[in-house]
Structure 1
Amino acid sequence: MKFRTIGLWGAFLAVHILIAWQGWAYPSQPMGDVVLVYEPWSAAALSGGSIVGITEPWVYPQLALLPMLLTQLLAWPLTALVGMPGAYLIGWAVLITALDAVAFGVLVGRTGSAPRRSAGWFWTAALLLLGPIAMYRIDAVTVPLAVIGGFWLVKRPGVATVLLTIAAWIKIWPGALVLAAVVAAKSRMRVLLTAAAVSAATVVVLFLRGADRHLFGFLTEQTGRGLQIEAVAATPFMWMAHFGAASVDYSFDILTFQISAPGAEVLAAFLTPLMVLVTLAVVVLGAVKAMRGASFPRLFPPLTLAIVVTLIVTNKVGSPQFQTWLIAPVVLWIIFDRTRSGVPAGLVLALCGLTCLIYPLTYDALLRTELLPVLLLTVRNLLLVVLLVISTRALVRVPTSHISARR
């Protein structure tokens, strides 16, 4: 193993230790979801009580419960043998670090080519800038699965699709990589059939477990929620709240802070169909490029990033962990087409840093709609729109075989 690769591994693991500690040290309990909701959900399932997604509706796809249950297993020795407080949080940090390490090993390899090392440094920097939110959310489980799955799409499309589909059944966003692969990859039928088979098998197992009424509750549970304060579309309302013309209220139903203002509910209802329309437009653009002979390495990265950013920009929710979704598409862009990945990579790093400044560092002040955090949120959300424009422009500029032939 080369010295440069050893140094990269050292930095990657050191960052995980740092952000694990930040979860305990930073304000606003950035590890709160793990101990306040993941642990009780998994404990109830193990004790024979209610099982989220099976016996009651849930905001996540059902396979999200698996890493929560696995963390109970990792935490058991610390709890049962030494009675260590916070054992579940430690188990979660160990789980995420282990999953990331496996994906990092696949990405960088033993010696690590220049693009693979660059991708590794980008991932390390993104985690460092985003802070504890990059570890203490269910989304952190899906990032390494998305990295491995996206990386293997060319040489192992079947295995890659299995991983990506499982990731989508943990948190929906990795489905964007499956959708982009169906459009951009030559093995698109294999990808499509594999994803359908894995999803069908998952549905059958869940149905047999008794999830018939709540099988797709993770889709319907989100429809009635309001406009979350960190969403891109909520930015004007946060300025209204700063000047006293709107308010920030807590929803006990979905455990989040939302905007209360004239027009906010109407806009929230409009965002979901807008998301569908914009995503469809991006996919159609990618399909046109694919039909005209665009190569996978040039087409897949901007198409994937454009779809993922669309899911964030048009979302009525703006949770800070959404920024983790951007890591895998940019890692893959660096791997497949490093010379054109600089601008999106820089923007994503800036987004990670701004998001950490907003949550958890100034979140209490944001709830009071003070000037600095509202300004930081505005800049962050504007950069998300810029990233959508840049990724879409890159998609438009992807060369096709017809253009190459003329050249």
Structure 2
Amino acid sequence: MNRLRVTPGPVLPLTALWLATRALMLWLIAHSGGPLLGGGSVTREVWRLYHHWYDVLAHGSFPVHDTLWQYPPGAGAVLLAPGLLPGLTYFQAFVLLTLAADALTATVLVRAGTRPGRSLLGAAVWTGGLPLLLHLPLARYDVQVTALAVLSLLASARSPRAGGVFGALGALVKVWPALVLLGMPRGRPTRGAWAGAAGAGAVCLALLAALFTHPLAFLREQGGRGVQIESLGGTALNLARHAGWSGRTRYRYGAMEMAGPHVGAVATASLVLTAVSFGLLVLWRVRARRWNEATPYDAALSAVLLFTVTSRVISPQYLIWLIGLAAVCLTSRFTCQRPVAVLVLTASALSTVAYPMCYREVIDGTWAGCLLMLARNGLLTAAAVLSYVRLWRSGRTPTVKSLRGTQPLAGSGRLPDRALSVSR
């Protein structure tokens, strides 16, 4: 069978774009003290908080009784990694490793996009979409987590077990990459993926428990988080301030949260909506009758979107996850998530205006800040709803008009070789 020969032509502009945009992001980091760039607040988390945690981890323990430590034990490995680069400050090494993870993600997306029948649009979305968040991606370790999720999805097409391993590694760092395994085809692929994830997760967790004390200390602090001002609930409460609500904002658990009457009810409602979202995803999984090569990618984006918009915390770095997953979807010509990717990119640009550019407006709950967050969160909510609806419709059993007549497709999702057309 002849293989399609791929010329390097389209890759060269992408490479030039990546180099130019990353140089700009590095320039922004070097000048992050400006008021429009947050006055240094974006980078402060690395050289102050991450470095502090590095010192604690270097002594063989996860942070204990630290309300800001809310991450699974795998995060410790990421925060320790900059110490392996000699001759650099912790901040410099962290940014360099984050940039390397960014480059790895772009590379695997390009490789996936240059395969026969695939598209380089995914690599373009990652390359051009990440700078919409300015220098924030290089000052958080969400790029590393997203890289593991992207590797999980792309590897699962060839080896479900390998995809499960990468998914487990990502989940050990920030939990949410476990959702990328939700859309694996039924049967052997699903069993292989979850077996790989369970095995890798157990081994890595045991290793971390052997090397460090208090590996599960994060659970105590995670449960106490409230309603962050950038979440859907926080936006609603900020708007309620203009209608006479007596609440206010306060710094707690590493974020600006709402405090006052009914905040607990809003937090509970967020948890209920998250549970409902999980139920909807399970329902899709049970009812879906058709899988194609893009279904695992589409399901991952839909799942993370639903969990993001129902979260009590929608930090700006969450958009890094969504850009990465949207990019994976767009490597396949069979994806149903193209309009969703447009909404995610638009929300990313608005998120940058909210933080760091106009964060004081958001904190103070001014009309400008409220309307800005309402627009950003409205786009994310629309993206989540549209994503799930399109995922649901793509999983319905289509009717195939073949040379032998009209017949339903099998659950595998593969089109018959002689199929002429598909009507939905």
TM-score category, normalised to shorter length: 0.7 to 0.9
Compare 233-242 and 319-328 and name the one that shifted more: 233-242
Q: Give the structure 1 partner of residue 418 of structure 2.
A: none
SS of 2:123's equivalent in the other structure is helix
Shift of 1:340: 3.4
Shift of 1:60: 0.5
Q: Give the structure 2 partner of residue 58 of structure 1.
A: 69
Q: Give the structure 1 partner of residue 189 of structure 2.
A: 187
For 1:201, the aligned partner's letter is V
SS of 2:143's equivalent in the other structure is helix
Compare 334-343 and 231-240 and name the one that shifted more: 334-343
For 1:33, the aligned partner's letter is E
- Bigger Rg over Cα: 2
Shift of 1:167: 1.0
Q: Give the structure 2 partner of residue 200 of structure 1.
A: 202
| Mapped partners of 1:248, 1:217: distance in 2 | 29
Q: Give the structure 1 partner of residue 411 of structure 2.
A: none
2:105 counterpart of 1:72: no
2:22 counterpart of 1:16: yes
Q: Give the structure 1 partner of residue 55 of structure 2.
A: 43
Tell me if structure 1 keeps the 8 A contact 2:157–2:293.
no
How large is the RMSD of aligned CA atoms in angstroms? Answer: 2.5
CA shift in 2, pair 1:242/1:15, >3 Å: farther
TM norm structure 1: 0.88
Q: Give the structure 2 partner of residue 81 of structure 1.
A: none
Tell me if structure 2 keeps the 8 A contact 1:53–1:61.
no
Q: Give the structure 2 partner of residue 3 of structure 1.
A: 9
Compare 56-65 and 326-335 and name the one that shifted more: 56-65
For 2:359, the aligned partner's letter is Y
> 1:344-396, CA deviations, whole angstroms, 9 ceiling, x for partnerless residues?
11101101101100010101221122222221100111111101110111112
Q: Give the structure 2 partner of residue 165 of structure 1.
A: 168
Q: Give the structure 1 partner of residue 143 of structure 2.
A: 140
> 1:325-353, CA deviations, whole angstroms, 9 ceiling, x for partnerless residues?
21222112112235633211110110110
| Mapped partners of 2:205, 2:141: distance in 1 | 21
| Mapped partners of 2:334, 2:48: distance in 1 | 40
> 1:188-239, CA deviations, whole angstroms, 9 ceiling, x for partnerless residues?
101111111112112322333354xx44443442222211100112221111
For 2:254, the aligned partner's letter is L
CA shift in 2, pair 1:272/1:217, >3 Å: farther
- What count of residue pairs does the alignment treat as equivalent? 390
CA shift in 2, pair 1:399/1:77, >3 Å: same
Give 1:133-282 correspondences, 5 Å limit: 133-181=136-184, 186-209=188-211, 211=213, 214-242=214-242, 245-252=245-252, 254-282=253-281
SS of 1:393's equivalent in the other structure is helix
For 1:176, the aligned partner's letter is L
Tell me if structure 2 keeps the 8 A contact 1:54–1:62.
no
| Mapped partners of 1:120, 1:278: distance in 2 | 29
Tell me if structure 2 keeps the 8 A contact 1:96–1:141.
yes
For 2:110, the aligned partner's letter is V
Q: Give the structure 2 partner of residue 84 of structure 1.
A: none
| Mapped partners of 1:369, 1:128: distance in 2 | 27
> 1:157-179, CA deviations, whole angstroms, 9 ceiling, x for partnerless residues?
22222112101111111111023
For 2:250, the aligned partner's letter is Y
Q: Give the structure 1 partner of residue 42 of structure 2.
A: 30
* Richer in helix (by share): 1
TM norm structure 2: 0.84
2:393 counterpart of 1:387: no
Structure 1, unmatched stretches of 5+, are: 79-86
Shift of 1:153: 0.9
Shift of 1:53: 6.8
CA shift in 2, pair 1:297/1:110, >3 Å: closer
Q: Give the structure 2 partner of residue 313 of structure 1.
A: 309
CA shift in 2, pair 1:90/1:215, >3 Å: closer
CA shift in 2, pair 1:163/1:379, >3 Å: same
CA shift in 2, pair 1:364/1:72, >3 Å: farther
